[in-house]
Amino acid sequence: MNKIGIILMAFLFPLFGWTQRPTEVKKIAGGYFVPLYGSNDKEVYVDDFLLDVFPVTQQQFLEFVTAHPNWRKSQVVRLFADQNYLSTWPSDSSFGELIEMQWPVTNVSWYAAKEYCACQGKRLPAMDEWEYAAMASATEKNAQRDSVFNHMIIEGYERPKTYKNEVGTTYKNFWGIYDMHGLVWEWVSDFNSVLISGESRQDVDVERNLFCGSASINASNLMDYAAFMRYALRGSVKANYSIQNLGFRCAKSIEK
């Protein structure tokens, strides 16, 4: 789709209601897995579900706020989005010259992300769903033990300004999903179900279910470190927070 087309559509959408072309989804075949590798008795079951192939882009989110004025940065209710909400956008109607339309949208609150997905007939993925889809490398459903894959994840967490890349530029995983690691953090629906106090040593006691593995971390267990960093980030945020490195994608349940 060329730029002019997109700009034209951005102007036309409000006239016809919000009919944005939805991001393609892929089916993730469910199964059992261990979210934080190392606590073997804590397997979790994830049902089949659909997941967006890409994170939501700047352009897509601009179209969303154009159609839904109450989510524009000037009008959003402070309760639902803190002052960092879309803070890099110069105005309600533009993400400015410095941002590319195909970059993932960031600086959006959980409320805004949830609303965006709802308006598409979708929802945010649950944390277990997200983690289940994210443990797939390019070739394997479960790459938790793949040291090269784990290494790539941690390396991505250390690299700055990765949000300045277009969606789809990292890797395509086993399910056909892009950018699960290496681009931006992503909101999940139940991000705050993990109670990390920030005192990680204490968390070992408090959240025994989730973190007992941490006491027995062994040398081959790099996956835990990557997961710890994700869970720590989730534990540090509130639903109205908007963060430069935090975006989202949508998911959908499969009707039975």
Question: Residues interacting with another protein, by CB under 8 A?
Answer: 84, 87, 154-155, 157-162, 185, 196-203, 214, 219, 222, 224-225, 228-229, 231-233, 235-237, 241-246
How many Å is the maximal CA-CA distance in the chain?
59
Closest to 134 measured CA to CA, from 249, 253, 255? 249
> Whole-number minimum distance, CB 218 to another protein, in Å?
8
252 forms beta bridges with 50
Nearest distance from residue 220's CB to another protein, in Å? 9
**Nearest distance from residue 4's CB to another protein, in Å?**
32
Nearer to another protein, 64 or 228 (CB): 228
- Specify whether the CB–CB gap between 19 and 13 falls below 8 A: yes
Q: Copy the structure tokens of residue 3.
A: 């730029």
Backbone angles phi, psi at 104, to 5 degrees: -65, 145
Closest CB to another protein among 119 and 237? 237
Q: Which is nearer to another protein, 48 or 155 (CB)?
A: 155
> Distance between CA atoms of 99 and 165, rounded to whole angstroms?
10
Nearer residue to another protein within complex by CB, 9 or 237: 237
Closest approach, Cβ 74 to another protein, in A, equals 19
Kindly give, in sequence order, each residue whose CB lies less than 8 Å from that of residue 105, ignoring residues fewer than 6 positions away.
55, 56, 57, 58, 60, 61, 247, 248
Q: Kindly state the smallest distance separating residue 189's Cβ from another protein, in Å.
A: 18
- Comparing CB distances to another protein, the nearer of 125 and 235 is 235
- Among residues 122 and 234, whose Cβ is nearest to another protein? 234
What is the DSSP-derived secondary structure letter of residue 26? Answer: E
CB of 68 to another protein, least distance (A): 24
Report the candidate in 136, 64, 55, 113 with the shortest Cα–Cα distance to residue 93.
64
> How far is the CA of 140 from the CAs of 35, 99, 146, 169, in angstroms?
16, 34, 9, 19
